[in-house]
Structure 1
Amino acid sequence: MLRMFVVLVAFCLGVAFATNSQSGVCVIKLVKGKLVSVGDCQKNDGSEIARLMKRDLKMKQKGRCDILYKSKCFHAIVYPTHNANFEDAQAACKKHKWKLGNVYDVMNYLLLQDFFVTMIPADQSLINVWTGMTYTNGNLRLTSGKEATFPEQLWKPYSNTQWTNVVFAVRKVRKKNTRDIFNIAPDWEYNGVLCED
């Protein structure tokens, strides 16, 4: 009964959760109407899902969050064309009293990818999404100034050190050896924006 209730609530809210267990990462998300656990998930009775849903429901009730991750509320903006430079992306977030968002770690990146891929316009194969992160002095940094680290498969900076803004690519079909998170000049125009409360 609890599992059916959890599935119904998750379906209605469009929820995906990520947790850390002692043995690794556990991702719980809704796939084709069913809750699916991927990774090192210790409990299979629905109690962990229910706990996460209660926690994140409180966050979601405060305001519309497209993605909740570690109590951080993310919002996705996607335009039909590549018409938003960095300044436009900042303004889009500010309009809603948000700020440009961060990608905190690999799990956060994967959840963002899963959400943004559903927003890629039908006539496009990928979108690039502005973040508030920066690339300075050879380091990838969050908006707080704290250094962020990602594996080489994801973070591939261009050698132009004057390109200090950071975007991430979202593809309908993932390809190997591509730049997934990278630095770019602020005047380039893309169609995705990641905002955060």
Structure 2
Amino acid sequence: MALLAMRTVTAACLLYCIISGIESIKGNEELNLSTSNATTGSIHEERSFAHGNEGRCDVLYDNKCFTLIISMAKMTLGEAEAVCKAAKGRLANVYGEEHFNLLRALIRSRTPIGHSGNYAWLGMTLDTKTRRVKLSNGEWAPYTRWHSRAPYESPRPYIGFNVVCDNTNINAQGYADEWASHRIEGALCESKVPWER
């Protein structure tokens, strides 16, 4: 019975990702930037699960688009970088506490059916000597919030953003240090807003 339930959930997730991916590709034929206003950013109402989502924003913050791309096959850091490059962006930075909370809500909202949480690569790195997080441009990150198990005793240089569905479990929300070969569900991409290209 448990095996049947697991197969049903897996099939539902796969079907959902395929349908969402098709909608994402179709959406690229027409630039669709409908957003709902937030305090300082905007959250895009549509989902992006496929390559080729140039011009689409899941979160608009400080004149930058942030798009979450999920892969049921999971991705290494190199694969996540390639996915973001194909979407005309790069792996994302987190620019402050408010931005962290917007991205956390986005990642939580894309948790696959049957999973307790979701995990996405970021473009930031960990200085393994000082244990401080750096943005992709080499500057120190303005805001750092670690998952309860991170950083590891022997720190790893790359950063993922781990989020659980239970919003009350504050300790299970935040950055985790990883090896580039580790496979996780998503890539959080950052790009210029389309109207400023």
Normalised TM-score (structure 2):
0.66
Partner of 2:38: 17
Name the larger-Rg structure: 1
- Paired with 1:95 and 1:153, the residues of 2 have a C-alpha distance of 29
- Paired with 1:66 and 1:29, the residues of 2 have a C-alpha distance of 5
Note the C-alpha offset of 1:152: 5.3
Trace 1:29-68 onto structure 2 (pairs within 5 A). Answer: 63-68=55-60
Pick one of 184, 187, 191 that aligns with 1:190: 184
Q: Secondary structure at the match of 2:57?
A: coil
Superimposed CA distance per residue, residues 43-91 of structure 1 (whole angstroms, 9 cap, x where no aligned partner): xxxxxxxxxxxxxxxxxxx92111101111111101224x201011001
Tell me the matched-pair count: 146
**Does structure 2 conserve the Cα–Cα contact (< 8 Å) formed by 1:93 and 1:99?**
yes
Partner of 2:151: 157
- Relative to structure 1, the CA distance from residue 28 to residue 96 in structure 2 (aligned partners, 3 Å threshold; closer, same or farther) is closer
After TM superposition, which residue ranges in structure 1, 4 or more long, deviate above 6 angstroms?
Answer: 27-30
Pick one of 72, 90, 93 that aligns with 1:80: 72
Q: Which runs of 5+ in 2 are unaligned?
A: 1-32, 45-53, 192-197
Note the C-alpha offset of 1:151: 5.5
Q: Alpha carbon RMSD of aligned pairs, Å?
A: 2.5
Q: Partner amino acid for 1:86?
A: L
Trace 1:108-187 onto structure 2 (pairs within 5 A). Answer: 108-136=99-127, 137-138=129-130, 139-150=132-143, 156-161=150-155, 163-174=156-167, 175-178=169-172, 180-187=174-181
Q: Which runs of 5+ in 1 are unaligned?
A: 1-11, 20-26, 31-61
Normalised TM-score (structure 1):
0.66
**Does structure 2 conserve the Cα–Cα contact (< 8 Å) formed by 1:100 and 1:195?**
yes
- Relative to structure 1, the CA distance from residue 186 to residue 28 in structure 2 (aligned partners, 3 Å threshold; closer, same or farther) is closer
